[in-house]
Amino acid sequence: MEMGITLNGVTKVFGAQAAVQDINLEIPTGDFVALLGPSGSGKTTLLRMIAGLEGLDKGKIFFNGVDYSAKTVKERKVGFVFQHYALFKHMTIFENVAFGLKVKPRKWRPSKKEIREKVFELLRLVQLEHVADRYPSQLSGGQRQRIALARALAVEPEVLLLDEPFGALDAKVRQELRHWLRDIHQKLNITTVFVTHDQEEALEMADTVVVMNHGRIEQIGSPQEVYEKPANAFVYSFLGRVNEFRGAALLNVSDKEEAVGYIRPHEILLSKIPKRYSVAAEVSHVHAVGSTVRAVLRRLDTNDFFEVEVALDLYRTLDQFTKGALLYAEFTNIIVFKEKEKLGRSMIVEKVTGEAFSALS
């Protein structure tokens, strides 16, 4: 019998549309999982189904091997952190965190003193002891998020679920909280599932990334796996910046009609002189702030625009090119996917190097 959370053919239909379709997923105890996908991919619905905040239309959910599908929210004892925190406006921070302890049935309810100790222990954990007597409206977004987490942890849940935990925060606070949440997970080792649409966040924080699209799972794997061995075109393009080529731009590929080629901007090599498999291109825009330089170039043969990323020192060796300059681009690691007719999904057919383009240069 599997420990942790097991989802078995889980399906949810809203109206005529399946929001979540036939999901099978194993989450081992102590794992830190990211549900990653664009908006409308069903990731939040899936998270809410695990919490019991959304019903199942089909399938089963097991917690530690026990069928939890029909259990109520209250019975599941999960910690849930809402995207907009859902702190109780009319209670102080202390009362918010203490809520889960105070509503316990009398025989299990800790004494006032124990509740107080527990709340302050949690407030110390989230480094917000000093705001205990304030109201949620008096806190910043990042502070509210930390309190929401402390509140969820107060009931000592076996599973912690977070819905877009940093979605409403600005970039700087978001960065800080990522590290902090990782630390907390390491300290407490609670099975944690969080939802995000930010691939950087998922890759940086999670042990396991579940990439979702249109209510289905596209790929499950460690951050390295999904980034380096994407299962399909969607995963590849969702996990980072990509250039997309179709049709005539792809040579040496059979069935050009259904094939799509992708390459990441940093995988394109630029040089001042033509190489064996290179293509001539004109620089149309340069963005040279920071350690890497981003540029947009136009292929002279097909007139396709593509994005390139080069390190600063390489940029210097290329004479710090500006708009209008002529350069030669080598597409070293292009991945070609073939679209599967019905599902609109794709699979890798071949991985090609520069030759794919050679005849055109």
Partner 1 sequence: METSNLVEVTSTRVRNFMLAPIRKWLLIGVALSFLGIFIFIPLLAVFSEALKKGIGLYFAAIIEPDALAAIKLTLLTALIAVPVNTLFGVIAAWGITKFNFKGKNMLITLIDLPFAVSPVIAGLVFVLLFGTSGVLGPLLEANNMKIIFAVPGIVIATLFITFPFVVRELIPIMQEQGSEEEQAALTLGASSWQMFFRVTLPNIKWGLLYGIILCNARAMGEFGAVSVVSGHIRGLTNTVPLHVEILYNEYNFAAAFAVASLLALLAIVTLVFKSIVEWKTKRNDHGER
Partner 2 sequence: MFKHSKRHRVLPGFGLSMGYTVIYLSLMILIPIAVLFLKATTISWVEFWETVTDERVVASYKLTFYTSFIAAIVNAIFGTLIAWVLVRYNFFGKKFVDALVDLPFAMPTAVAGIALTTIYAPNGWIGQYFAQLGVKISYTQYGIMIALTFIGLPFVVRSVQPVLQDLDQQYEEAAATLGAHSGQIFFKIIFPAIFPAILTGFALAFARALGEYGSVVFISGNMPMKTEIVPLLIITKLEQYNYGGAAAIAAVMLVFSFILLFLINFWQWKTAKKHQMT
Applying CB under 8 A, the residues found at the interface with partner 1 are: 51, 53, 72-74, 77-80, 82, 84, 86-90, 99-100, 103-104, 135, 137-138, 151-152, 154-155
Q: Name the residues that contact partner 2, by CB under 8 A.
A: 13, 52-58, 73
Closer Cβ to partner 2, 31 or 54, answer by number: 54
Closer Cβ to partner 2, 60 or 116, answer by number: 60
What residue 54 binds from partner 1, partner 2, none (CB within 5 to 8 A, per partner kind)? partner 2
How far apart, in Å, are the Cα atoms of 190 and each of 4, 32, 137, 184? 10, 8, 29, 9
What residue 79 binds from partner 1, partner 2, none (CB within 5 to 8 A, per partner kind)? partner 1
DSSP letter for each residue of 91-133: S-HHHHHHHHHHTS-TTTPPPHHHHHHHHHHHHHHTT-GGGTT
Helix axes 141-154, 171-188, angle to 10 degrees: 20
Helix axes 93-102, 141-154, angle to 10 degrees: 20
What residue 135 binds from partner 2, partner 1, none (CB within 5 to 8 A, per partner kind)? partner 1
Amino acid found at 146:
R
Closer Cβ to partner 2, 187 or 342, answer by number: 342
Centroid of chain to Cα 340: 25
Tokens 């299990």 belong to: 108
Q: Six-digit token pair at 207?
A: 């042990």
Smallest separation, CB 131 to partner 1 (Å): 15
Smallest separation, CB 70 to partner 2 (Å): 9
Evaluate whether 196 touches 36 at the Cβ level (below 8 Å).
Answer: yes
Q: How far is residue 132's CA from residue 207's CA, in Å, rounded to a whole number? A: 33
What residue 227 binds from partner 2, partner 1, none (CB within 5 to 8 A, per partner kind)? none
What residue 159 binds from partner 1, partner 2, none (CB within 5 to 8 A, per partner kind)? none
Evaluate whether 229 touches 220 at the Cβ level (below 8 Å).
Answer: no
Smallest separation, CB 69 to partner 2 (Å): 10
Residue partners of 332: CB distance under 8 A and separation at least 6: 263, 267, 268, 269, 353, 354
Smallest separation, CB 26 to partner 2 (Å): 23
On the CB side of 132, how many CA atoms lie within 13 Å of its CA? 15
Return the number of other C-beta atoms located less than 10 Å from residue 276's C-beta: 9
Smallest separation, CB 100 to partner 1 (Å): 4
Closer Cβ to partner 1, 33 or 78, answer by number: 78
What single-letter DSSP state applies at residue 265? G
What residue 80 binds from partner 1, partner 2, none (CB within 5 to 8 A, per partner kind)? partner 1
Smallest separation, CB 70 to partner 1 (Å): 16
What residue 55 binds from partner 2, partner 1, none (CB within 5 to 8 A, per partner kind)? partner 2
Evaluate whether 337 touches 262 at the Cβ level (below 8 Å).
Answer: yes
What residue 78 binds from partner 2, partner 1, none (CB within 5 to 8 A, per partner kind)? partner 1
Closer Cβ to partner 2, 22 or 158, answer by number: 22
How far apart, in Å, are the Cα atoms of 178 and each of 145, 175, 188? 12, 5, 16
Smallest separation, CB 138 to partner 1 (Å): 7
Closer Cβ to partner 2, 13 or 312, answer by number: 13
On the CB side of 3, how many CA atoms lie within 13 Å of its CA? 7
Smallest separation, CB 151 to partner 1 (Å): 7
Closer Cβ to partner 1, 31 or 163, answer by number: 163
Closer Cβ to partner 1, 15 or 324, answer by number: 15
